[in-house]
Every structure is written in structure tokens, then in C-alpha cells.
A = this chain, B = another copy of it.
Amino acid sequence: MCAAVVEGSDVYLYHGTGVATMKFKSPPVNSLSLDFITEFCISLEKLENDRTCRGVIFTSAVPKIFSSGLDITEMCGKSTEHYAEFWRAVQEMWLRLYGSNMVTVAAVNGSSPAGGCLIALTCDYRIMVDNPKFSIGLNEAQLGIVAPFWFKDTFVNVVGHRVAERSLQLGSLHPAAEAHKFGLVDELVPEEKLQEKAAAVMAQWLALPDHARQLTKSMMRKAVLDRLVAHREEDIQNFISFISKESIQKSLRMYMEMLKKKKS
């Protein structure tokens, strides 16, 4: 048994009795900046290499938001080199999460668009607070951008081809109850029961022998993981050429303006 508390600027990590909890706390909206993702990957790697740690629960320390997804400022008005570094980090985060040997549980205690939804999708189990104000989905199309193929593959593996096709084309953000209805989240609970439920689910999954569970998980996810590994550099080049287009930059600037106006 181990117990450790690691506190970073963005990720608060508590680890005891074989299960770690990663709390996102990068106000105001836990956006996935390059710094956040880097710290996230380092924390995850530590846990992965710690043989006493068998599971990790992801949740938010910021009220009403799980994670707002990729930080748009990292994709706007930056250099080609920066885009490459950022996208490689996003890929790395996904590869580590989707391929994790640990049991991963998302305790979604707020809205979770785009990259926030992706984090939840990579987990073994998704529990969401039963609040109609919280929504979740891969809404990239709403911003005029396109989720990469590995976001799509992860989504299809959870909700199936038809639901994914419709939801991705419409850039839908699904209220919690709707997300639960078609399996984007596995379970809804009142906010005050969330951590208790996450711990119970974790215990259920940890009751299985690690090696059998890990081999099974790997068997289920290998095809999709391998696809990105095989096309990683190509995917980075695609991202750079897409995001560098003036029309896309304009779309992102407009979206950020809209967000600012919404706040004030």
C-alpha cells in the first residue's frame, strides 16, 4: 500500500491504497494547455510505473466543469513548431490514457466538451453527475474544426458508428441524461454520491486479476491504438496544415470572441 500527495499547478494527485485520484484544477475551465497536458502525462507515467498503483480516478476540482478540452490559445496565432509540439503532446496524452494498464474511471462532475469528453472516453468506466446543466460531447464541428480520426475511433468504440456519425457531424453536446441514454456515460449519480460511486466501481474492477484484465483491455483497444502509432507524424502534419489555414484561424478567433462575450 502506498500513500502520496503530489500537488502541481494544474493536477492535484492523491494516491493511496492502490488507487490514485487525479483532480484537474486549472481554473477557470481546466482547459488542456500544453503545460497542463505535460504535467498530466508526467503524473500518469509516474502512476503507471508505480506497481502499487492499480487504478486512477479522474475528476475536477473546479466547480461545474470537468475539462473544457484543448486550449484554443495553443492553436491560434502560434508557430508551426508550436503546433507540432502541442499536437504531439495531445497524442501522447491519448496514447497513455487509452493504453493504460491501470483501471481508469472518469468521475465527470461538470461539463466536458471536446478534449474533456475525450479524456472520459478513454476511461474504462464513466460516471457523470446527474445534472441537466452538465453536458458532454465531441463538439469540434461547432468550432469549425474536425476531431482527428483517433478521437473518432475512441468515440465509435463507446457509442457505435451511427451515434458517433450523427453526434460528430452536429458537434453535439449532450446533456447528462441524453449522454447516458445512448451509452456515452455508463451511469448517472447525484453530485454528492459521485466519489463514493467512483470508489465502488473501482473496487469492482480491481477485484479482477490485473494480468487478465490488462491483456483483455489491450486486446480490445490495440487496433485503434496501433492506428495512431502507425500514422503519428502524418497526423501531426495534417493538424498543422489544417490549423494553419487562415479560414480555420478565423473560425477559432471568432469562437474565442464569442466565449469572451458570453462571460461578460
Contact = CB atoms under 8 A, between A and B. Distances in A.
Given A124-B166, A169-B124, A161 B220 contact: yes
A132 interface: no
A29 interface: no
A217 interface: yes
B141 A208 contact: yes
Nearest to A186: B166
A212 B157 contact: no
15 contacts: A124-B165, A124-B169, A142-B208, A144-B211, A149-B219, A157-B165, A160-B161, A160-B162, A168-B216, A169-B208, A169-B213, A169-B216, A170-B205, A171-B208, A209-B251
Interface in A120-155: 124-125, 140-147, 149, 152
A158 B165 CA distance: 9
B220 A146 contact: no
Copies of this chain present: 3
Nearest to A158: B162
A79 interface: no
A169 B205 contact: yes
A158 B163 CA distance: 8
Contact of A160 (B124, B160, B186): B160
Contacts of A169: 124, 205, 208, 213, 216-217, 220
A4 interface: no
Interface string A219-231: 1110000000000
Interface in A28-76: none
Contact of A220 (B125, B152, B215): B152
Given A149-B219, A216-B146, A247 B211 contact: yes
A204 interface: yes
A141 B251 contact: no
A168 B220 contact: yes
A183 interface: yes
A159 interface: yes
A212 B162 contact: no
A188 interface: no
A209 B144 contact: yes
A146 B219 contact: yes
Given A152-B220, A157-B161, A169-B208, 4 more contacts: A144-B212, A146-B215, A158-B162, A169-B213
A164 interface: yes
